Structure 1
Amino acid sequence: MKANPIVGSGTSIEAWAGSRHLAEVEEIDLQHLVPTGSRAVIVAPHPDDEVLGCGGLLQALSRAGNPLLLISVTDGDASHPGSRRWPVERLVQARPLESAEALRRLQIDVDALPWIRAALPDSAVASREDKLRALIAGALQPGDVVFATWREDGHCDHEAVGRAAAAAASAAGARLVEVPIWAWHWADPEDPRLPWQRARKLVIDEAMLARKRQAMQAHASQLEGDPDIHLPPVLDAHALERLLRPFEVFFL
């Protein structure tokens, strides 16, 4: 089993601002990322990953009229282990509601959004990877563009989702785009482990970035730890800063 690289406060936003590799990543427009009329399928390991990695993209797709499908793999109920403030029973109810509110803040019509909740075990998606691959494959159509977390993102669920989505997209004749989320925490600014040659930036404007910021604030459970057991928030200030830049990065 790989060691967990998601420890401490991670690489600072200032360090990333000075990254030569990141500065040289080519921009891509929405039309080339998701052609007009093509459906975008967002596969989120946990309720919030769709906003953290694709909050700007989702707004652009909605504005352009592209059809969307959201697949939430888990209910995120393992985010506060041992917490009495945020027990599993509370999280399994709260986190999908937080996602719905976040999407509304992105101006997504949640009532009209096709949304599959797989309810696989949080932090153990790899144990159900075959089931997830079949579920995704059954939902895909040829020509879909599938956005899933990067297969080397550092979180076990993110990596399992990436592998399952890659296999399902290949089988269905869909195109896979990988989304780094936790990589911005553990990687170095010039880290050769990141596939820089596959990276592209989607620029998001000031208004879209503001809406993404508001959407991230809807995930109240992830912004709050549990001081009684010395549990820090999942999304601390450093994590939020790294994901609130005027662009989103995708690996093609």
Structure 2
Amino acid sequence: MEPVNSRRILDEGTSARDWEAWSGLDVLPSLEPALLVPEGRRAVIVAPHPDDEVLGTGGLLARLGRLGRDVLVLAVTDGTASHPGSTSWPVERLARTRPRETQEALHRLGLGGARVERVGIPDGAVTENEERLVEWLGARLRPDDVVLATWRLDGHPDHEAVGRAASRACAALDGRCVEFPIWMWHWARPGDTRVPWSRARRIELDEATLALKRRAMEAYVSQLEPDSTTGNPPIVPPYALERLMRPFEVVFT
């Protein structure tokens, strides 16, 4: 496996403009949500942190909701390590706030009835708890679920551990695991050979669906505002949002 430090998340990364200029994204095959998650099947989103489900698959979730598909969100951590040293956002406040932000985001996507289950693994420690996560998923997943998890080479340790764990749990059930990138868009370059473009598929988002995704992400106030007590910028800065708020999402099948 390629070392994670070769996929480093530094500075502002590859710009949305650079990705938009690359014709390779235009020729990716499209995948209809109705085919990805057939009727009668459940979509299970495995999110390392609250907001990853919206950043990576918010538009897909909105489309699945309109199709009447059953959606379950599994929150691996509560994202309580997002503001180290902050007196405005201490761990206790984040533990209360971020789960509420998830519920509001799903409501804005038209998925107010979707279930959310919390694994309770500490933020930043998914790798150390990977075996626990595999067992936890194995006890809750069904063989006919369509599981969507962050890509196992995404560049963030928690994201990669979630991708590995979900893949292993699905393999044990002979189920289907589909991965989605988030931080890949930061460290990779157009045409980057480290990315499995042959497995990449586009989920198309019309203007109304993209607007729903934007509104859902706005529910994560804790991640979008600068921290006056530390002087730090938003956890999810505008340039990172721009890369992910496009009229399509990408998954690896």
Match of 1:49 among 49, 52, 59: 52
Give, in whole Å, the separation in 1 of the partners of 2:34 and 2:111.
19
1:7-18 alignment, distance < 5 Å = 7-18=10-21
Q: Tell me the residue number matched to 1:191.
A: 192
Tell whether the 8 Å contact from 2:56 to 2:181 is kept in structure 1 after alignment.
Answer: yes
Give, in whole Å, the separation in 2 of the partners of 1:113 and 1:62.
9
Give, in whole Å, the separation in 2 of the partners of 1:99 and 1:214.
12
Asked if residue 92 in structure 1 is aligned to residue 90 in structure 2, the reply is: no
Tell whether the 8 Å contact from 2:34 to 2:64 is kept in structure 1 after alignment.
Answer: no
Match of 1:38 among 23, 41, 65: 41
Aligned residues: 250
Match of 2:66 among 63, 67, 86: 63
Q: Aligned partner of 2:184: which letter?
A: A
1:193-208 alignment, distance < 5 Å = 193-208=194-209
Asked if residue 79 in structure 1 is aligned to residue 115 in structure 2, the reply is: no
Gap regions ≥5 residues in structure 2 = none
State the 1:2 CA deviation: 3.4
Tell whether the 8 Å contact from 1:44 to 1:70 is kept in structure 2 after alignment.
Answer: yes
Tell whether the 8 Å contact from 1:52 to 1:181 is kept in structure 2 after alignment.
Answer: yes
Asked if residue 24 in structure 1 is aligned to residue 27 in structure 2, the reply is: yes
Q: Aligned partner of 1:2: which letter?
A: V
State the 1:233 CA deviation: 1.2
Tell whether the 8 Å contact from 2:16 to 2:242 is kept in structure 1 after alignment.
Answer: yes
Q: Aligned partner of 2:18: which letter?
A: A
Asked if residue 235 in structure 1 is aligned to residue 233 in structure 2, the reply is: no
CA deviation map 1:232-252 (0-9, x unaligned): 211111111111000110000
Q: Tell me the residue number matched to 1:217.
A: 218
Give, in whole Å, the separation in 2 of the partners of 1:6 and 1:85.
25
State the 1:22 CA deviation: 1.6
Tell whether the 8 Å contact from 2:106 to 2:114 is kept in structure 1 after alignment.
Answer: no
Tell whether the 8 Å contact from 1:37 to 1:65 is kept in structure 2 after alignment.
Answer: no
Tell whether the 8 Å contact from 1:20 to 1:190 is kept in structure 2 after alignment.
Answer: no
State the 1:93 CA deviation: 0.7
Q: Tell me the residue number matched to 1:2.
A: 4
Q: Aligned partner of 2:170: which letter?
A: A
State the 1:54 CA deviation: 0.8
Q: Tell me the residue number matched to 2:124.
A: 123
Tell whether the 8 Å contact from 2:34 to 2:67 is kept in structure 1 after alignment.
Answer: no
SS at 1:74 equivalent: coil
What RMSD, in angstroms, separates the aligned Cα atoms of the two structures? 1.3
User: Which runs of structure 1 show a deviation greater than 6 angstroms over 4 or more consecutive aligned residues?
Assistant: none
Gap regions ≥5 residues in structure 1 = none
Tell whether the 8 Å contact from 1:26 to 1:201 is kept in structure 2 after alignment.
Answer: yes
